[in-house]
């Protein structure tokens, strides 16, 4: 189940990023500044998420807490069509210039969900390591699954999904998927209490 | 025999083409090539494929490509002289140059996303800016959204390699265009359709969704269609357009044959395929539709 969550979160990050270019184009165009903004905001979100995820993982990590942290981007994506249009229009009206406008828009729309999706990697690593003792192998598998998920997410979205369904529908679908992953995790009895850790000397 | 034939013609075509310039710009690969036999110069985005624009080296003011002539049929949809016009996509700059030559009092603005394309048009295609020809290095859609002005004519000819960027094909975009047209304004769009594909069907339906009247003009030598749409609600029939084209031709003494183009008049209902999907900001699979055959009977 954890492996599945890691795979799908990897897929959703990249799929959401591809769709993000379509979300930004109507108000900010498809200039090189838009692509630059989009990619850097996602990477900023992920790196912040990795850092935060690592810190949070040291405080009694559990599948239930992971579930709650997946619900945040789940709900953000599920309700994305309701706020993305008005927010984009509002930033467009502010007219902050060809570089700053798309950067601010990308930050407002994509930073928060990508932070939470970034948290997943270190958090699941910690969860798995304290239940299994082959930590190198576990971390390696999680990295591989996450990136493999990203590849699949990128390809499926750009080659296929975008040609059969609307952008808003797809983003909401990702939200549904995140919630669907979060629910079983909530009822999973997987946790590691910090005092158990043997490396606390 | 056929093999020998084709191989010699291949050699000949390669030796007669001279590369004058190439660059990977922020948005695309740009090359300027001159055919030394035909004395023609082209700008291309791919190694060897359709040109984005071009000129006759000895007559740079002439409109070399058919679509650049076709779009001027928009003049026959306006009952007066155009004053303010906008071109989205510069290419080799042939159309704004031509407009400026015949309407020196008109104001031509151009929205071109790629600054390198502007330099190429200046350096290799005799394109010049002046107080009546102004280029804005900006995404066409954003330029239109931000524009405070209303235009008599808007020419849409923005291509990325061989496709129109999706955000310049949708109902939302066309509504923005319509809102920047004067009451009797005209929008004219160059649509490449090598065969009747799904994209063509969807473009027809998308234009019809937004504009009260849409007209089509088909290329004879090329696979181009020109869509003309009017902001006004009065339908113009073939005779009206032919008559107006003849009058404008007589007045302006163009070196293109406007009445001949007018004679290809088709009202868009002839091409309407109701089952085709209207393109929106939410759903516009333009890259795929280009390669899918039309479902129209």
Does pLDDT of B226 surpass 90? yes
Does pLDDT of B186 surpass 90? yes
Does pLDDT of A196 surpass 60? no
Does pLDDT of A16 surpass 70? yes
Look up the CATH superfamily of B66-289. Vaccinia Virus protein VP39 (3.40.50.150)
> What pLDDT does residue B48 have?
64
Does pLDDT of A195 surpass 70? no
pLDDT digits (tens, 9 = 90+) for B19-48: 899 888 888 888 898 888 888 888 888 766
pLDDT digits (tens, 9 = 90+) for B116-134: 999 999 999 999 999 999 9
In the block, residue with structure tokens 């890259």 = B287
Token pair of B150, please? Answer: 């209303």
Q: Which residue of B has its CA nearest to A36?
A: B26
* CATH of the domain spanning A2-23+31-189: 1.20.1250.20
Q: Do B146 and A22 touch (CB under 8 A)?
A: no
Q: Which residue of A has its CA nearest to B280?
A: A166
Q: How far apart are CA B50 and CA B293, in angstroms?
A: 20
pLDDT confidence tier of residue B15, bands split at 50, 70 and 90: low
Does pLDDT of A113 surpass 50? yes
| Orientation angle between helical segments A63-78 and A167-186, nearest 10 degrees | 160
pLDDT confidence tier of residue B194, bands split at 50, 70 and 90: low
> What pLDDT does residue B5 have?
36
**Average pLDDT, rounded, for chain B:** 88
| Residue B113, min C-alpha distance to chain A (Å) | 7
CB B19 within 8 A of CB B33: yes
CB B30 within 8 A of CB B122: no
> What pLDDT does residue B169 have?
94
Q: How far apart are CA B238 and CA B262, in angstroms?
A: 8
> What pLDDT does residue B196 have?
78
> What pLDDT does residue A38 have?
95
Please report residues of A whose CB lies closer than 8 A to that of B165.
25, 30
Share of chain B above pLDDT 70, in %: 93
Q: Do B142 and A30 touch (CB under 8 A)?
A: no
> What pLDDT does residue A197 have?
44
pLDDT digits (tens, 9 = 90+) for A126-152: 888 877 667 888 888 999 999 999 999
Per-domain boundaries in chain B: 66-289
Q: Do B139 and A30 touch (CB under 8 A)?
A: yes
pLDDT confidence tier of residue A120, bands split at 50, 70 and 90: very high
Per-domain boundaries in chain A: 2-23+31-189
Exposed, middle or buried by CB within 10 Å (0-12, 13-18, 19+), for B210?
A: buried
Nearest to A10 by CA among A162, A152, A173: A152
Q: How far apart are CA B128 and CA A29, in angstroms?
A: 26
Does pLDDT of B248 surpass 70? yes
> What pLDDT does residue B6 have?
35
Please report residues of B whose CB lies closer than 8 A to that of A164.
285
In the block, residue with structure tokens 């995820």 = A53
Does pLDDT of A34 surpass 60? yes
> What pLDDT does residue B295 have?
77
> What pLDDT does residue B173 have?
97
Interface confidence (ipTM) of the complex: 0.80
Residue A165 sits at the chain B interface (C-beta within 8 Å): yes
Q: Mean per-residue pLDDT for A105-132?
A: 91
> What pLDDT does residue A42 have?
96
């Amino acid at each position: 189940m954890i492996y599945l969550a890691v795979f799908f979160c990897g897929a959703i990050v990249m799929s959401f990023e591809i769709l993000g270019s379509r979300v930004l184009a109507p108000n900010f165009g498809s200039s090189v500044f838009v692509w630059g903004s989009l990619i850097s905001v996602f990477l900023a979100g992920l790196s912040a998420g990795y850092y935060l995820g690592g810190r949070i993982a040291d405080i009694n990590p559990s599948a239930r807490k992971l579930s709650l942290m997946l619900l945040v981007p789940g709900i953000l994506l599920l309700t994305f069509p309701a706020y993305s249009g008005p927010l984009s229009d509002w930033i467009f009206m502010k007219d902050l210039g060809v570089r700053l406008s798309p950067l601010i828009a990308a930050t407002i729309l994509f930073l928060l969900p990508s932070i939470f999706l970034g948290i997943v990697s270190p958090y699941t690593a910690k969860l798995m390591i304290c239940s299994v003792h082959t930590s190198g192998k576990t971390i390696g598998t999680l990295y591989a699954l996450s990136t493999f998920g990203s590849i699949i997410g990128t390809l499926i979205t750009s080659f296929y999904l975008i040609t059969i369904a609307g952008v808003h529908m797809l983003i909401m679908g990702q939200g549904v998927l995140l919630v669907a992953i979060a629910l079983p995790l909530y009822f999973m009895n997987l946790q590691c209490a910090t005092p158990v850790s043997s490396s606390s000397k | 025999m056929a093999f020998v034939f084709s191989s010699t013609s291949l050699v000949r075509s390669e030796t007669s083409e001279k590369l004058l310039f190439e660059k990977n710009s922020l948005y695309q690969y740009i090359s300027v090539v001159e055919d030394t036999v035909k004395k023609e110069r082209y700008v291309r985005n791919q190694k060897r494929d359709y040109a984005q624009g071009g000129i006759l080296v000895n007559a740079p003011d002439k409109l070399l490509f058919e679509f650049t002539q076709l779009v001027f049929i928009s003049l026959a949809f306006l009952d007066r002289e155009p004053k303010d016009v906008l071109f989205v996509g510069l290419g080799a700059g042939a159309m704004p140059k031509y407009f400026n030559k015949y309407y020196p009092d008109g104001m031509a603005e151009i929205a071109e996303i790629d600054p390198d394309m502007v330099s190429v048009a200046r350096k290799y295609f005799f394109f010049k800016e002046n107080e009546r020809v102004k280029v804005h290095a900006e995404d066409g859609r954003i330029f239109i959204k931000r524009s405070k002005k209303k235009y008599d004519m808007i020419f849409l000819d923005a291509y990325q390699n061989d496709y129109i960027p999706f955000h310049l094909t949708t109902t939302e975009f066309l509504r923005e265009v319509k809102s920047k047209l004067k009451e009797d304004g005209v929008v004219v769009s160059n649509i490449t359709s090598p065969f009747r594909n799904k994209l063509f069907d969807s473009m027809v339906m998308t234009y019809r969704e937004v504009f009260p009247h849409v007209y089509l003009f088909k290329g004879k030598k090329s696979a181009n269609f020109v869509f003309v749409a009017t902001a006004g609600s009065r339908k113009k029939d073939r005779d009206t357009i032919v008559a107006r084209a003849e009058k404008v031709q007589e007045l302006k003494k163009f070196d293109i044959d406007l009445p001949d183009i007018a004679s290809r008049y088709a009202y868009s209902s002839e091409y309407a395929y109701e089952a085709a999907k209207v393109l929106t900001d939410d759903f516009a699979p333009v890259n795929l539709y280009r390669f899918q055959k039309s479902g129209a009977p």
